[in-house]
Amino acid sequence: MESELMTKKPGPLYRELADEVQKLIERRSLRAGQRLPSVRVCARQRQISIGTVTEAYVVLENRGYIEARPKSGYYVRNRPAEMPKASPGSVLGPPVVVDEKDLAEHILDLSLDPSYFPLTTAFPGPGILPLEKLAKIASAVGKSDPGILGKYSMGRPYPPFVQELSRRYLQTGASLGHDDFIVTSSCSEALHLALGAVTKPGDVVVIESPAYFGFLMLISSMGLRAVEVPVDPKRGLSLEALTVALDSNDAKALIVTPSFHNPTGASMSNARKELLYSILCDYDIPAIEDDIYADLHHGPIRPKPLKAWDRDGRVLLCSSLSKTLAPGLGIGWISAGRYRDRIDEGKWTTSPLFTQKVAALFLQEGYDRQLRRMRAEYKKQLSAVKSAVRRFFPRGTTMTEPDGGFILWVELPPAVDTLELRLDALEEKIGTAPGPMFTMRDQFRNCIRLNCGLRWTGEFERAIQTLGRLASRQIDKKLMAAKAG
């Protein structure tokens, strides 16, 4: 539809307007149930005739996109949740970056729709993040220091916040001064800045395989190329494969999540982190380390970041409070080593001082207690999901054994196609994250990532049971087809 529209010569004015509105509906800028601007207002603003707007709306009505409601105006119609770009046709094609992006974007959209059970994104579920306590702190800061809302940060961090970060990293074994940190609005922004500092469009970066789809989207939007290196579910990034990749590519950086990797949950041991650092030195490349899940260890010790071994500033450590405190707070950071000034020069904005102050107070007061509670809950939730997968998924299914975070990577028998499963699950109102979302190559078709950040409930159990049933049905159908053929 898009390409057809783009190659078409401009048609009559009414059709151009109809096409424009249709695109907004398809992109969900205009949502089901929303009222369109009235014919009169639209005609006045655009300086076209009322007849032209009316005709455009009638065209859209005929195409099934909008409906007229008597005495009220035109409204976007309820269309099926599946939009054309996410149909199997567009995701089953050859593995090119843009397809992955479409799939990921559709899945992100879906995570905002509360009518789907949210196994899609790696979000903690309701009741797990300490939002009420955070709101109380925010309100107290607003009352006691309203002037802070009137201040620009001028790109400078709020000292108590970065001092708190420095203190916390010291405990993990990484000695980082408070002035090493640049405050960002999220881990994603930190990753974006890090990639921008060490690459230019067209460069090659090494990523894990499977990889967090946010990395794939960033890489694609920045015009970079990626080489995928396998992650071993038990030992994390394969260092053997990494050296092969570095031997055969002029890679400019590695992006790595050494602790509780998304989507496998795998972690590297200290010895392997140390070895990784020496490989980076041998090949003289920087590493962008994503440390976002490390505080969510299930065992007694918080894993050391790769940054702890960094002697020459080649590790750019990125993280945020999105998984442990509140994604809506909008606060992350980067400790960029030798690239610090390069990033700082171009950066004039940070997370607002108000937000940093609220975060600093939380980190100083209840954060450790909160982390202890969350770790215990995630451990319990992961164990409940694993046991349900064992009960309900087809024989031959295997899964990872994360000892931190809240993500589980499940490998189903080869006959199961999780892209197909995703469509079947949508009909049952379950959102899923199929394996192909986490790669730019044609692989992981029989894998699925499960978000275990949600409280274990009967509804959750039913969702896992349903996925298991749908997967088994696929296997049966394929077996029958093979027998018949």
Residues near ligand PLP, by CB under 6 A: 122, 186-188, 212, 214, 257, 262, 290, 292, 320, 322, 327, 332
Q: In terms of CB distance, is 65 or 362 closer to ligand PLP?
A: 362
Q: 33 in the Ramachandran plot: left (φ > 0), alpha (ψ -120 to 50) or beta?
A: left
Q: How far is the CB of 215 from ligand PLP (least distance, A)?
A: 8
Q: How far is the CB of 126 from ligand PLP (least distance, A)?
A: 17
Q: In terms of CB distance, is 55 or 189 closer to ligand PLP?
A: 189
Q: In terms of CB distance, is 57 or 362 closer to ligand PLP?
A: 362
Q: In terms of CB distance, is 2 or 113 closer to ligand PLP?
A: 113
Q: How far is the CB of 308 from ligand PLP (least distance, A)?
A: 19
Dihedral angle of Cα 262, 168, 133, 381, to the nearest 10 degrees: 30
Q: In terms of CB distance, is 91 or 288 closer to ligand PLP?
A: 288
The number of C-alpha atoms within 13 Å of 176 and in the hemisphere containing its C-beta is: 36
The number of C-alpha atoms within 13 Å of 67 and in the hemisphere containing its C-beta is: 8
Q: Partners of 449 in the beta sheet?
A: 409, 433
Q: In terms of CB distance, is 124 or 468 closer to ligand PLP?
A: 124
Query: In angstroms, rounded to a whole number, what is the distance separating the alpha carbons of residues 460 and 129?
Result: 18
Using alpha carbons, list the distances in angstroms from residue 454 to 118, 385, 450. Answer: 8, 10, 10
Q: Tokens 């009316």: give the residue.
A: 54
Q: How far is the CB of 371 from ligand PLP (least distance, A)?
A: 16
Selection from 338, 309, 463, 479 nearest residue 396 by Cα? 479
Q: How far is the CB of 6 from ligand PLP (least distance, A)?
A: 31
SS (H, E, C) 292-335: CCHHHECCCCCCCCHHHHCCCCCEEEEEECCCCCCHHHCCEEEE
Q: In terms of CB distance, is 435 or 468 closer to ligand PLP?
A: 435
Q: How far is the CB of 68 from ligand PLP (least distance, A)?
A: 41
Q: Are 285 and 242 in contact (CB under 8 A)?
A: no
Q: In terms of CB distance, is 277 or 333 closer to ligand PLP?
A: 333
What tokens appear for 27 in the block? 């992109």
Q: How far is the CB of 73 from ligand PLP (least distance, A)?
A: 38
What tokens appear for 161 in the block? 């916040």
SS (H, E, C) 381-430: HHHHHHHHHHHHCCCCCEECCCCECCEEEEECCCCCCHHHHHHHHHHCCE
Q: How far is the CB of 188 from ligand PLP (least distance, A)?
A: 3
CB proximity list for 252: less than 8 A, separation 6 or greater: 198, 199, 203, 204, 205, 285, 286
DSSP 266-295: ----HHHHHHHHHHHHHHT--EEEE-TTGG
For residue 92, the 8-state DSSP code is S
Q: How far is the CB of 290 from ligand PLP (least distance, A)?
A: 5
Query: In angstroms, rounded to a whole number, what is the distance separating the alpha carbons of residues 231 and 413?
Result: 19
Q: In terms of CB distance, is 191 or 399 closer to ligand PLP?
A: 191
Q: How far is the CB of 244 from ligand PLP (least distance, A)?
A: 24
Q: In terms of CB distance, is 120 or 474 closer to ligand PLP?
A: 120
